Structure 1
Amino acid sequence: MSTTWTAFRRARRRSRQAWAVLAFVVAAAVGGVAWFFGNGQFAVAEGPGGGPAAAPVADYSWMKPVAPVAPVPHGTAAEALETLPVKGRAAKDDYDRSQFGQAWLDADHNGCDTRNDILRRDLSSLRFSDGSKCKVAGGGLAEPYVGKAIEFRRGSESSKAVQIDHVVALGDAWQKGAKQLTPKQRSTFANDPLNLIAVDGPANVKKGAGDAATWLPANKNFRCHYVARQISVKAAYRLWVTAAEKDAMKRVLATCPGQQTIRP
Structure 2
Amino acid sequence: MVAFSAIVVLSVLSTASCAPTPRALPTPVSVATAKTYLSELTVAVDSNVPAYARDLFKTWDIISGTCDTRETVLKRDGTNVVTNTACTATSGNWVSPYDGVPTTLASDLDIDHLVPLKEAWLSGARNWTPAQREAFANDLTQPQLVAITDNLNESKGDTDVTGFVPPLASYVCTYIRAWITVKHYYDLTIDAAEKTALTNYIDAC
| TM-score bracket for this pair, using the shorter chain length | 0.7 to 0.9
SS in 2 for 1:254: helix
Asked if the contact 1:73–1:80 (Cα under 8 Å) also holds between the matched residues in 2, the reply is no
User: Identity of aligned pairs, percent?
Assistant: 34
Aligned counterparts, 1:179-258, within 5 A:
179-193=126-140, 194=142, 195-256=144-205
Change (3 A) 1:150 1:177: same
1:121 positional shift: 0.4
| 1:81 lines up with 2:41 in the alignment | no
Cα contact 1:170–1:209 (8 A) shared by 2:
yes
Asked if the contact 1:162–1:199 (Cα under 8 Å) also holds between the matched residues in 2, the reply is yes
Does the 8 Å CA contact 2:22/2:79 hold for their aligned counterparts? no
Q: Max radius of gyration: which structure?
A: 1
Q: TM-score, normalised by structure 2?
A: 0.80
Count of aligned residue pairs for this structure pair = 180
Residues 196 and 76 from structure 1, CA distance in 2 versus in 1: closer, same or farther, beyond 3 angstroms? same
User: Are 2:38 and 1:91 equivalent residues in the alignment?
Assistant: no
Q: Alpha carbons of 1:59 and 1:143: their partners in 2 closer, same or farther (altered >3 Å)? A: closer
- Matching residue's letter, 1:224: C
TM-score (norm 1): 0.63
For residues 110-189 of structure 1, the aligned pairs below 5 Å read 110-111=64-65, 112-129=67-84, 131-132=85-86, 134-153=87-106, 159=107, 161-189=108-136
Distance 1:181 1:93 in 2: 12
**TM-fit CA distance, 1:110:** 2.4
| Unaligned 5+ runs, structure 2 | 1-19
SS of the residue 1:211 aligns to: coil
In 2, the alpha carbon distance for the partners of 1:94 and 1:239 equals 17
Alpha-carbon distance in structure 2 between the residues aligned to 1:254 and 1:151 = 36
For 1:125, give the aligned amino acid.
Answer: N
Secondary structure of the corresponding residue to residue 168 of structure 1: coil
Q: What do the CA deviations read for 1:67-118 (whole angstroms, capped 9, x no partner)?
A: xxxxx988621111111101111026611111112x2112xx4222100000
Cα RMSD over matched residues? 2.2
Q: Quote how far apart the aligned CAs of 1:150 are.
A: 2.0
Q: 3-state DSSP class of the match of 2:112?
A: strand
- 2:40 counterpart SS class: coil
